[in-house]
């Protein structure tokens, strides 16, 4: 290692880990030399109904992209997450549910209980006519029923699509319609941080824009008052109580879709990322075990929401496939106070803790005292995901939370990848603060020159991050639009999967993510297309034009900076600014609310009318000394006006 600032695994950790350095290097080399042999072996971690004989059958040729893993095998994911554990660990806790309020008792759900609840839920779905391949949208709080619903869908071969409970009725309706869902599963209310989101009334509003055939299954969670539409609304808990507690798992093909998850891109409306059954579960389970060095009996806590892919792979599918005990937390890090995460770690004796840099930064702002109040001696490992972690936050996490004894795994991946692609293995990899380090087994990252698309073969490299070959957890298509799948990920750099991120490879071959190279921003670890926020803004009657860019934000990583041109004759005002913020919240959801809105009488455009975002980004970053070439602008004076009235001043 040439870098001073590295943290090698301790001898003790390496000795007990699933992989030490030698094991990682050997397994990685094997996985690249003969991927089919490697995955044929590791595909066996899953129970197959009919074992596969073919391993991979993938083509990255633009125009012909097709990805298949274990394609002639059959299996059921719910059976792998539940039934196969019943004999050996039926009475072990599968899910620890920690409610929003610390005064409400936690629930410990055993594998036996999980089995019963998932079977009952599956029978409720069947009774509503849901069958193989049907789409079911979930719009739920972080409650056990969310996991039951996911696994119930998997059990009967239905395809779930979770919509994060922070999204607006419009966003929910768009997703229900895009995947033509037959059923929506929601709850009366979602308690978070002591407040309650009225999920059912949001669902009612969404369903006004959907087919009247869509059924609404409602989990009565808080008991809050809701409207009730006979013949459409179904009381899930009441139906579950009546339903049979056994349900035979459906035999699914490895390549049948397991779920759809919508995510933002640089253009257009959110895409429905489709994940497979066999490859996905192999990959989620294997990464969960190796990245977090999960051992039998450990308590694993991933703080994400099941509305994001992190919750799919590392709260539900990966951990449960491994027979783990997984924590599901309904609340937020700062309620009732900034010690909540650590109180929960102490209470449930959490061994592996996985969260996002934005949460770490927010908690760091409260100092070390809320951490030191709690006994964190159970912690063995810490993880981060969602955005690059700044060294300051890394050091705080390491020193204050981990007491310098817990390896930190900085995991780089995406909704599209299903599981970790770049990550340290804690017993094998010396970490460097801010680097996602090295590839997982079977993953072949390359750095391409952004302009020429040529692979940079020197160890030290800077360019765009692409992948040479498929891995089992990779997305298979965009729901209903395979062409868009190919165009988004395989068109810019032919023969590679293009992730959309820039990166640097250092002298040790370590990867450092430098952020998105497209018009996608990362706000508190949530991905947002700037185009989506722009189209929400221009849908407002008083807005003529809008351009949205990201800017550095201390807590969120990136904040949302909107330049807004008003209709002729409309006067800017604080009231209008508030109205626009509210408007975006209702169009998309609170996470899309602009942090800063600048009134822009004009936007910098080329003579052909293209908005020069590069310039807008610089102004938003308060870095307008280096605007670069503005000579192609139609009216360069616009820029001076924008600089003059910029909102982000240090
Ligand atoms: C984008 C994917 C995968 C679950 C969370 C987000 C960024 C993710 C890291 C990391 C630097 C990261 C990338 C990526 N990202 N993890 N460890 N270091 N950047 O999933 O919403 O699909 O977003 O998040 O830019 O492309 P997502």
Q: What is the pLDDT of residues 334-374, one digit of tens each?
A: 999 999 999 999 999 999 999 999 999 999 999 999 999 99
CB neighbourhood size of 436 (10 A): 27
Query: Using one digit for the tens of pLDDT, what is the confidence trace for 414-438?
Result: 999 999 999 999 999 999 999 999 9
DSSP letter, residue 636: T
Among candidate residues 591, 580, 586, 569, the one with its CA nearest the CA of residue 546: 580
3-state secondary structure of 525: coil
Contact 330, 192 (CB under 8 A): yes
Whether the predicted pLDDT of 157 surpasses 70: yes
pLDDT band for position 650 (cuts 50, 70, 90): confident
Residue of the CA atom closest to atom 23 of ligand 1:
414
Q: Which atom of ligand 1 is nearest to the CA of 500?
A: 26
| Mean pLDDT value of segment 516-526 | 91
Q: How many CA atoms lie within 13 A of 559 on its CB side?
A: 15
> Which residue intervals of 128-255 are DSSP H helices?
144-156, 169-178, 199-207, 236-242
Taking each helix axis from N to C end, the angle separating 169-178 and 199-207, rounded to the nearest 10 degrees, works out to 50
Cβ contact 478:488 at 8 Å:
yes
Task: List the structure tokens of 332.
Answer: 């937020």
Cβ neighbours for 399, distance < 8 A, ≥ 6 positions apart: none
CA angle 71, 74, 77 (to 5 degrees): 110
CA dihedral of 8, 9, 11, 14, whole degrees rounded to 10? -140
Residue nearest atom 6 in ligand 1 by C-alpha distance:
386
Q: Is 303 annotated as a binding residue?
A: no
The rounded distance, in Å, linking the Cα atoms of 387 and 385 is 6
124-139 as b/e, with b when 16 or more CB fall inside 10 Å?
A: bbbebebeeebbbbbb
Is the pLDDT assigned to residue 2 strictly greater than 70?
Answer: no
> Which residues are bridge partners to 196 per DSSP?
191
DSSP string, 38-102: HHHHHGGGSPPSB--S--EEEE--TTS-EEEESTT-EE-HHHHHTGGGHHHHTTSEEEEEE-SST
Longest dimension (CA), the chain: 74
513 lines ligand 1 (CB under 6 A): yes
Q: What are the tens digits of pLDDT across the range 451-510?
A: 999 999 999 999 999 999 999 999 999 999 999 999 999 999 999 999 999 999 999 999
Tell the residue number behind the tokens 């008003």, with chain if given: 566
pLDDT at residue 444 tops 60: yes
pLDDT tens per residue, range 106-151:
999 999 999 999 999 999 999 999 999 999 999 999 999 999 999 9
- Which residue from 149, 100, 101, 97 is spatially nearest to 128, judged by alpha carbons? 149
Return d(Cα 642, Cα 602) in angstroms, integer. 8
Q: Which atom of ligand 1 is nearest to the CA of 422?
A: 17
Which mutation among 288, 387, 415 tests ligand 1's pocket best, with the greatest number of atoms within 8 A of CB? 387
Q: Are 337 and 106 in contact (CB under 8 A)?
A: no
Q: Crossing angle, helix 574-587 and helix 530-538, to 10 degrees?
A: 120
Question: Alpha-carbon distance 608 to 633, whole Å?
Answer: 9
pLDDT band at 4 (very low <50, low <70, confident <90, very high): low
d(CA 7, CA 30): 26
Both structure tokens of 95: 């899910």
Q: Quick one: pLDDT at residue 618?
A: 93
Residue 602 DSSP label: S
pLDDT in tens, 42-70: 999 999 999 999 999 999 999 999 999 99
Report the C-alpha gap between 297 and 86 in whole angstroms: 15
Decide whether any atom of ligand 1 lies within 6 Å of the 411 Cβ.
yes
Please give the pLDDT value at position 49.
98
Choose the residue to mutate in 386, 488, 498, 514 for probing ligand 1, maximizing ligand atoms within 8 Å of C-beta: 386
The answer to whether 290 and 426 are in contact (CB under 8 A) is no
Ligand 1 atom 13: the closest Cα is on which residue? 387
Average pLDDT, the chain: 96
Residue 424 near residue 383, CB atoms below 8 Å:
no
What percent of the chain clears pLDDT 90, i.e. is strictly above it?
93
Quick check: 634 pLDDT over 90? no
Per-residue confidence (pLDDT) for residue 261, from 0 to 100: 98
Work out the angle at residue 71's Cα, subtended by the Cα atoms of residues 70 and 74, and round it to the nearest 5 degrees.
85
| CA dist., res. 460 & res. 458, Å (int) | 5
d(CA 60, CA 328): 37
Q: In 3D, which of 204, 226, 218 has the Cα closest to residue 141? A: 218
CA-based nearest residue to 169, from 198, 149, 192, 211 = 198
* Centroid of ligand 1 to alpha carbon of 258 (angstroms): 21
Task: State CA 617 to chain mean position distance.
Answer: 25
Atom of ligand 1 nearest to the CA of 384: 17
pLDDT tens, 186-215?
A: 999 999 999 999 999 999 999 999 999 999
The Cα angle at residue 201 between residues 200 and 205, in degrees rounded to 5: 115
Ligand 1 centroid to residue 414 C-alpha, Å? 5
Q: Confirm if 304 and 285 have CB atoms less than 8 A apart.
A: no
Q: What is the mean pLDDT of residues 283-297?
A: 98
533: CB partners within 8 A, 6+ apart? 546, 548, 560, 562, 584, 588, 592, 594
Instruction: Please check the confidence at residue 3 and state whether its pLDDT lies above 60.
Output: no
Q: Confirm or reject: Cβ of 522 under 6 Å from ligand 1.
A: yes
ipTM above 0.95, yes or no: yes
Beta bridge partners, 162, equal 138
Percent of the chain with pLDDT over 70: 99
- At residue 266, the pLDDT reads 80
Q: Are strands 381-385 and 352-355 parallel, antiparallel or unpaired?
A: parallel
Say yes or no: CB of residue 409 within 6 Å of ligand 1: no
User: Which atom of ligand 1 is nearest the CA belonging to 499?
Assistant: 26
Q: CA 352, CA 244: separation in Å to the nearest integer? A: 36
* Residue 636's pLDDT band (cuts 50, 70, 90): confident
Residue 400 DSSP code: I
């Amino acid at each position: 290692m040439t870098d001073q600032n590295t943290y090698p695994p301790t001898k003790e950790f390496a000795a007990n880990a699933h992989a030490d350095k030698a094991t990682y290097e050997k397994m990685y080399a094997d996985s690249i030399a003969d991927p089919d042999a490697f995955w044929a072996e590791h595909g066996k971690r899953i129970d197959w109904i009919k074992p596969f004989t073919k391993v991979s059958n993938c083509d990255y040729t633009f125009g012909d992209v097709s990805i298949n893993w274990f394609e002639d095998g059959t299996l059921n994911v719910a059976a792998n997450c539940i039934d196969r554990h019943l004999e050996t660990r039926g009475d072990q806790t599968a899910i620890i549910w920690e409610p929003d309020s610390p005064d409400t008792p936690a629930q410990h759900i055993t594998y036996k209980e999980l089995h019963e609840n998932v079977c009952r839920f599956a029978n409720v779905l069947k009774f509503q006519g849901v069958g193989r391949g049907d789409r079911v949208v979930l719009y739920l709080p972080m409650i056990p029923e969310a996991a039951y619903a996911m696994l119930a869908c998997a059990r009967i071969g239905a395809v779930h699509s979770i919509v994060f409970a922070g999204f607006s009725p419009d966003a929910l309706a768009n997703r229900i319609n895009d995947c033509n869902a037959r059923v929506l599963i929601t709850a009366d209310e979602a308690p978070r941080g002591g407040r309650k989101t009225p999920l059912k009334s949001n669902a009612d509003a969404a369903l006004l824009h959907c087919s009247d055939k869509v059924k609404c299954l409602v989990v009565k969670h808080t008991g809050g008052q809701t409207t009730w539409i006979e013949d459409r609304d179904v009381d899930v808990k009441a139906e579950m109580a009546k339903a049979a507690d056994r349900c035979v798992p459906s035999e699914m093909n490895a390549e049948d879709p397991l779920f759809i998850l919508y995510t933002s891109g640089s253009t257009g409306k959110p895409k429905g990322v489709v994940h497979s059954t066999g490859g996905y579960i192999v990959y989620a389970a294997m990464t969960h075990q190796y990245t977090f060095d999960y051992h039998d009996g450990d308590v694993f806590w991933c703080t994400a929401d099941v509305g994001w892919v992190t919750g799919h792979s590392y709260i539900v599918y990966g951990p449960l496939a491994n027979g783990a005990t997984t924590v599901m937390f309904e609340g937020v890090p700062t309620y009732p106070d900034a010690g909540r995460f650590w109180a929960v770690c102490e209470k449930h004796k959490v061994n592996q803790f996985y969260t996002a840099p934005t949460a770490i930064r927010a908690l760091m702002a409260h100092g070390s005292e809320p951490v030191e109040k709690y006994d964190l001696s159970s912690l063995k490992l810490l993880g981060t995901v969602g955005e690059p972690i700044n060294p300051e936050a890394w050091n705080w996490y390491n020193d204050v939370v981990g007491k310098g004894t817990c390896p930190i795994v900085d995991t780089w991946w995406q909704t599209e990848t299903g599981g970790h692609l770049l990550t340290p293995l804690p017993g094998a990899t010396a970490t460097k603060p801010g680097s996602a380090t090295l590839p997982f087994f079977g993953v072949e990252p390359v750095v391409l020159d952004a302009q020429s698309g040529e692979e940079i073969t020197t160890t030290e490299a800077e360019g765009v991050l692409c992948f040479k070959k498929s891995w089992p957890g990779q997305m298979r298509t965009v729901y209903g639009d395979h062409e868009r799948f190919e165009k988004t990920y395989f068109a810019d750099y032919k023969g590679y999967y293009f992730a959309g991120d820039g990166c640097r490879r250092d002298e040790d071959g370590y990867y450092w993510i430098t952020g998105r190279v497209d018009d996608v921003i990362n706000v508190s670890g949530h991905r947002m297309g700037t185009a989506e926020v722009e189209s929400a803004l221009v849908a407002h009657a008083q807005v003529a034009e809008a351009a949205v860019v990201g800017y550095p934000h201390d807590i969120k990583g990136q904040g949302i900076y909107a330049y807004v041109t008003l209709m002729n004759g409309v006067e800017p005002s604080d009231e209008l600014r508030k109205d626009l913020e509210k408007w975006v919240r209702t169009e998309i959801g609170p996470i899309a609310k602009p942090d800063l809105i600048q009134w822009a009488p004009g936007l910098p455009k080329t003579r052909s009318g293209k908005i020069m975002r590069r310039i807008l980004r610089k102004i938003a970053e308060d870095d307008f000394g280096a605007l670069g070439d503005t000579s192609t602008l139609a009216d360069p004076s616009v820029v001076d006006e924008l600089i003059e009235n910029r909102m982000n001043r240090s």
